[in-house]
Amino acid sequence: MSGNAQKYEAVIGLEVHARLSTKSKLFSSDANAYGAAPNENVGVITLALPGTLPKINKKAIEYAVMMGIACNCTINQKNFFARKHYFYPDLPKGFQTSQHTVPVCAGGHVVITTSEGECNVQLHHIHLEEDAGKSIHDMDDTYSFIDLNRAGTPLIEIVTEPCMHSAEEAGLFVTELRKLVRWINICDGNMEEGSMRCDANISLRPKGATKLGTKVEVKNLNSIRNVKKAIESEIERMTAMLDNDEKIFQQTRSFDASNDTTFAIREKEEANDYRYFPEPDLPPLHLSAEFLNNIKNNLPPLPQVLFKKYHDVFGLSEYDAAQLTLEKDIAYYFETVVCTFQHNGHTEINYKAIANWINGPVKQIVNETGIALNEIDATKLSEIILIVESGEVSFSNASLKLLPAIIKDKTVNVSPLAHDLNIIQTKNNDELKEWVEAVINKMPDKVAAYKKGKKGLIGLFVGEVKKLSKGKADLKTVTQLLEEALK
Ligand code: ADP
Ligand code: MG
């Protein structure tokens, strides 16, 4: 970046489209499915045949409201659809049914954690709209083809205020949105399949200025990496322009992932004339308090809420709490294990130990083997955690031997299994002393160094005893015995 980069502040606002995972389209019973054969899900409404009328999909409204609640928005109980006119070959009606003056959700914010701490990304609104179809230009030399499967599928568009200032923030925001839509199960969040797409609006202004600069809009970014790269590239390009006293015009641009730069696709007039007007074929929506309460009450506990509970109530570190709330499945599994302890009458629960197990060996074995979390019996995992806490089995033997064993054979019981595997740690002092002595005799040089003050060597001795005992030595006692013997 130019040496003058510090002179300017970047301002970024994002428009994120998320495809709702409803069974049918927004205004018709045609299937809303990715990957079908071309034009398989195209009925008379999708084709906009004369005489057909739209009918709103209730589930789509429900999903939009769910997202609004998850993003701390105000839900507009009265909201309505509008026609947005533009000519587009894959838009059979000649207009897109969207929301304009009164969308379903207004305001709101999403919390992100940057390298400088927590901050809120302010939302302008969230609205519902239908997607367009797809033109295919590369299948034939003479003709363009059209696939209308996507036409009429339901989207929400999440529009932020121009409140972000770096590619990092924008990337974290999209990551958080993807986590949220997956968490509440309204969209699969698969950006590579186009389930989430992002337009990035970027402008620069002199540092300290309050008036916004002229923006450019980079369309259709289909990965978090590309969102970040497009913003970085635009900041660099516009910085160079301003440094050369060039004027920035409002533009729509596209991103070329092969060289991480953007190129202009059209100049944007001051304001687009979409000739919006209220959709006459759909009545305004009146969402009852009961409808909204029902949605609110059925929403799963949100990641921010669980994060706060794990951190403030359970006393876990921010890192541990964040790791546990990366995905709903993991948070729910953690909750299940905690419940198991409560259910079995434990009053002092070691939350840190449970978090360590789930963020450590459990996640590792899930990643390595591809098994589902629910294949690890929570009750048995809690028994493993307890057997380690009591000092009967070492953490490493428990994670390397007991954990895989309870996944492989659902019928085994933890304590007998530990005996069968011969991994119960010895508390027998005589046996421990023999191992300690053997190690001391084996390493006279190190022992001398230790006695001269290299106290850090104790870890080495303990490790040697561990090896010698094949993990069966209780290491706390071993450390004490070693310290006594080396006095
Ligand atoms: P348009 O009518 O061109 O779509 P909007 O005012 O509706 O523009 O804003 C669309 C998106 O662009 C929003 O996310 C908004 O935050 C962002 N935005 C608007 N003006 C600017 C600006 N000057 N710099 C950066 N982002 C902007
Ligand atoms: Mg726009």
Q: Average model confidence (pLDDT) for the chain?
A: 93
Query: 317-328 as b/e, with b when 16 or more CB fall inside 10 Å?
Result: eeebbbbbbebb
Query: 118-155 as b/e, with b when 16 or more CB fall inside 10 Å?
Result: ebebbbbbbbbbbbbbeeeeeeeeeeeebbbbbbbbbb
Q: Are residue 159 and residue 37 in the same domain, yes or no? A: yes
The helix/strand/coil state of 105 is strand
From 435, 442, 444, 487, select the one nearest 462 (Cα to Cα): 435
| Residue at 312: amino acid letter | D
In Å, the largest CA–CA distance within the chain is: 96
Output the six-digit token pair for 402: 């007991």
Quick one: which atom of ligand 1 is closest to the CA of 14? 14
Q: Are residue 197 and residue 257 in the same domain, yes or no? A: yes
* Alpha-carbon gap, residue 20 to 82, rounded angstroms: 19
Q: How many domains does the chain have?
A: 3
Domain annotation covers residue 68: yes
The label of the residue with tokens 């010698």 reads 468
182-226 confidence digits (pLDDT tens)? 999 999 999 999 999 999 999 999 999 999 999 999 999 999 999
- Which range marks the domain in which residue 453 is found? 429-485
Q: Are residue 240 and residue 370 in the same domain, yes or no? A: no
Single pTM value for the model: 0.88
State whether the beta carbon of 287 lies less than 6 angstroms from ligand 1.
Answer: no
415-465 confidence digits (pLDDT tens)? 999 999 988 887 777 888 888 899 999 999 999 999 998 988 999 999 998
State whether the beta carbon of 209 lies less than 6 angstroms from ligand 1.
Answer: no
pLDDT band per the 50, 70, 90 thresholds, residue 475:
confident
State whether the beta carbon of 98 lies less than 6 angstroms from ligand 1.
Answer: no
Domain annotation covers residue 473: yes
Measured between its terminal Cα atoms, the distance across the chain in Å is 60
State whether the beta carbon of 13 lies less than 6 angstroms from ligand 1.
Answer: yes
Quick one: which atom of ligand 1 is closest to the CA of 162? 16
pLDDT band per the 50, 70, 90 thresholds, residue 268:
low
Quick one: which atom of ligand 1 is closest to the CA of 212? 23
319-343 confidence digits (pLDDT tens)? 999 999 999 999 999 999 999 999 9
We report the CATH number of the domain holding residue 471 as 1.10.10
**CA 173–ligand 2 middle distance (angstroms):** 18
Which residues is 13 bridged to in the sheet?
201
Q: Are residue 391 and residue 458 in the same domain, yes or no? A: no
Q: Are residue 416 and residue 445 in the same domain, yes or no? A: no
Output the six-digit token pair for 265: 């696709």
16-30 confidence digits (pLDDT tens)? 999 999 999 999 999
Q: Is the pLDDT of residue 403 over 90?
A: yes
pLDDT band per the 50, 70, 90 thresholds, residue 346:
confident
The residue among 170 and 1 whose pLDDT is bigger is: 170
27-51 confidence digits (pLDDT tens)? 999 999 988 999 999 999 999 999 9
Which of these three, 403, 420, 437, is where a domain ends? 420
Residue whose CA is closest, atom 11 of ligand 1? 13
Amino acid 269: pLDDT: 61
Query: 236-249 as b/e, with b when 16 or more CB fall inside 10 Å?
Result: ebbbeebeeeeeee
Q: Is the pLDDT of residue 2 over 50?
A: no
Domain annotation covers residue 21: yes
Which of these three, 291, 314, 343, is where a domain ends? 291
Question: Cα dihedral angle (309, 310, 312, 315), rounded to 10 degrees?
Answer: 150
Residue whose CA is closest, atom 2 of ligand 1? 271
Which of these three, 402, 420, 438, is where a domain ends? 420
Kindly tell me the burial class for residue 94, based on how many C-beta atoms sit within 10 Å of its own C-beta (0-12, 13-18, 19 or more): exposed
State whether the beta carbon of 9 lies less than 6 angstroms from ligand 1.
Answer: no
